[in-house]
Structure formats: structure tokens, C-alpha cells
């Protein structure tokens, strides 16, 4: 079986964080009521949240986020980027957003590590997945 080829950025990330990773993207419309924009993920390594909308938003890892309690996320491209190296467990937490008026779209990009068990290498996992007897 041929090895899967990955780009330089992916190779670097996998080397830094000790295993294969994936990126997950989603968009959520935040409103004047606390809205969950990304869920809890213990395998998360990095999280970037970008405000794509025209309204300012505030972020917090609790549903008590408000316009006076949270991280300011400016309209039209404001962002926050978190990594486990710099921000400890913050990328793994559930994050909430709120606006002072109207709605705004929050894009999340999360890098997470695959949870490998049993001491298998990436090649062994790929081989097992490619097997015609894999259920």
C-alpha cells in the first residue's frame, strides 16, 4: 500500500503535536442570545474563530458571555487564535458568542489530533482501514 502524502504544513503540525491531525470548519450565526459556536473537544490542538459578519461579537468559554464579559471579536474579520502550546486547554473548550445587536457569522477552524489507541503507528492504522475485512 502506498503511503499517504501530506503537505509541508501538515507534516510540521503532525511532528509538533505527535500524530495525525485533521481540520474541522463550521459556521454559526451568533445573536444577542448566547450561542454555542464550537463544542468541547479533548483532542483539539488549535482553534481559530473569525467574525465574518458586520456586527461585533464577544466570545467566552461559558454561556455567561455578554457584551461586558468576554473577548471582543470585531466585525468583518476580527479573529482569535488559540493553541494548546500558548493557551493550555482553551482550544479544547466549548465556546459561546453573543452580539449587542443583530446576528453575525462566526467561522471556526479547529485542528484536532486523531485519537490512536493500542500503540499503532499511522501506517498500521492506514493498512487496517484499507483491509477488505475491516467492518
Q: How does pLDDT run across 3-31, given as a tens digit for each residue?
A: 555 688 888 888 888 888 888 999 999 99
Alpha-carbon distance 57 to 46, whole Å?
20
pLDDT (0 to 100) of residue 3: 52
Q: How does pLDDT run across 76-108, given as a tens digit for each residue?
A: 999 999 999 999 999 999 999 999 999 999 999
- CATH number (2.30.30.30, 3.90.550.10, 2.60.120.770, 3.10.20.580) of 21-114 reads 2.60.120.770
* Structural domain spans, the chain: 21-114
At residue 124 the predicted structure's pLDDT band, cuts being 50, 70 and 90, is low
Alpha-carbon distance 108 to 37, whole Å?
7
| pLDDT greater at residue 130 or residue 114 | 114
pLDDT (0 to 100) of residue 1: 42
Amino acid at each position: 500500500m502506498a503511503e499517504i502524502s501530506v503537505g509541508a504544513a501538515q507534516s510540521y503540525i503532525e511532528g509538533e503535536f505527535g500524530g495525525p491531525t485533521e481540520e474541522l470548519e463550521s459556521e454559526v450565526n451568533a445573536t444577542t442570545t448566547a450561542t454555542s459556536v464550537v463544542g468541547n473537544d479533548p483532542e483539539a490542538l488549535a482553534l481559530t474563530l473569525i467574525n465574518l459578519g458586520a456586527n461585533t461579537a464577544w466570545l467566552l468559554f461559558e454561556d455567561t458571555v455578554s457584551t461586558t464579559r468576554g473577548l471582543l471579536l470585531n466585525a468583518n474579520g476580527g479573529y482569535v487564535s488559540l493553541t494548546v502550546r500558548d493557551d493550555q486547554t482553551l482550544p479544547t473548550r466549548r465556546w459561546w458568542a453573543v452580539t449587542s445587536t443583530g446576528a453575525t457569522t462566526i467561522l471556526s477552524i479547529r485542528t484536532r489530533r486523531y485519537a490512536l489507541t493500542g500503540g499503532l503507528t499511522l501506517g498500521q492504522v492506514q493498512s487496517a482501514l484499507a483491509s477488505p475485512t475491516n467492518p
